[in-house]
Amino acid sequence: MWTWFYRLASPPYVYRVAATLAPWFLTAAALAIGYGVIGGLVFAPPDYQQGDAFRIIYVHAPSGWMSMFAYTTMSIAGAIGLIWRIKMGHAVAAATAPIGASFTLLALVTGSLWGRPMWGTYWAWDPRLTSELILLFLYVGVMSLRPAFEDPGRGDRAAALLSIVGVVNVPIIHYSVVWWNSLHQGATVAKLGKPSMPGSMLWPLLSMFLGFTCFYGAVLCLRLRGEVLNRERQANWVREAVKS
């Protein structure tokens, strides 16, 4: 029953699986993002208050979601590497960190571009914005801790521990709009009950969420291949894989 789990600990297997999965993820991402972009930017009606400016949500909300999803993935992968001493867990964590940091930056930038016409300012020290910024700093911390050690194994474990400590921030980001009086709007989609959005706006948005997640999966697979090759560069199978 656990054999699939154990096989994931083997670098050549992960290297092959990532190669098989990447095109599937990429195709799914292209389809979902394609539908989302056309549906969201062309067919969805303008918002009754925000006009066409609301359309940035089709990039902003999925990037925000990905920033937290990637962080959680990184922590779980790091924990797997830390607890079971599975090197591939650390490889996944290392491959994820820059992707997650990019999504966090994208969420912050698109949010502030939207904030200028809507709130009258690019930046406000609002709980949601602040906690998302802390997330970016945490990514930077994890990414700078890993290469700081001369012994890569030690760097991996230190980075994993730091990412596990930082995971407390993820629920804070999610609930920041509920716990504090926030300028940022509350949950629109990810809540119990009916979403506060008509279907013509909602479906493209959900498709963008799916598309961004698949895109992350695709980039992760590609980066993971590079990471595995770099980590296993002394191994025989890498020499053969590179030669053929």
User: In the complex, what is the shortest distance from the CB of residue 74 to another protein, in angstroms, rounded to a whole number?
Assistant: 15
How far is Cα 116 from Cα 56, in angstroms, rounded to an integer? 12
Tell me: does residue 165 bind another protein (CB under 8 A): yes
Burial of 168 (0-12, 13-18, 19+ CB in 10 A): exposed
Tell me: does residue 179 bind another protein (CB under 8 A): no
Question: Bridge-partner residues for 51, per DSSP?
Answer: 47
User: In the complex, what is the shortest distance from the CB of residue 146 to another protein, in angstroms, rounded to a whole number?
Assistant: 11
Report the residue number, 6 or 137, with the smaller CB distance to another protein.
Answer: 137
Asked whether 173 and 145 are in contact (CB, 8 A), the reply is: no
Tell me: does residue 158 bind another protein (CB under 8 A): yes
Tell me: does residue 134 bind another protein (CB under 8 A): yes
Tell me: does residue 164 bind another protein (CB under 8 A): yes
Size of the site for another protein (CB under 8 A): 18
Q: Which stretch binds another protein (CB under 8 A): 108-116, 132-140, 201-209, 224-232?
A: 132-140
The three-state secondary structure class of 13 is helix
Tell me: does residue 190 bind another protein (CB under 8 A): no
How far is Cα 44 from Cα 154, in angstroms, rounded to an integer? 50
How far is Cα 57 from Cα 51, in angstroms, rounded to an integer? 12
User: In the complex, what is the shortest distance from the CB of residue 55 to another protein, in angstroms, rounded to a whole number?
Assistant: 32
Among 6, 84, 122, 137, binds another protein (CB under 8 A): 137
Tell me: does residue 162 bind another protein (CB under 8 A): yes
Asked whether 145 and 80 are in contact (CB, 8 A), the reply is: no
Tell me: does residue 141 bind another protein (CB under 8 A): yes
Tell me: does residue 154 bind another protein (CB under 8 A): yes
Q: Which two tokens stand for residue 40?
A: 């969201």
DSSP string, 155-175: HHHHHHHHHHHHTTHHHHHHH
| Sequence-ordered list of residues with C-beta below 8 angstroms from that of 116, at least 6 positions apart, any chain | 122
Q: Which stretch binds another protein (CB under 8 A): 9-17, 35-43, 52-60, 129-137?
A: 129-137
CA distances from 141 to 31, 85, 94, 149, 224 (A): 35, 22, 12, 13, 20
Tell me: does residue 157 bind another protein (CB under 8 A): yes
| Residue ranges binding another protein (CB under 8 A) | 130, 134, 137-138, 140-141, 144-145, 148-149, 154, 157-158, 161-162, 164-166
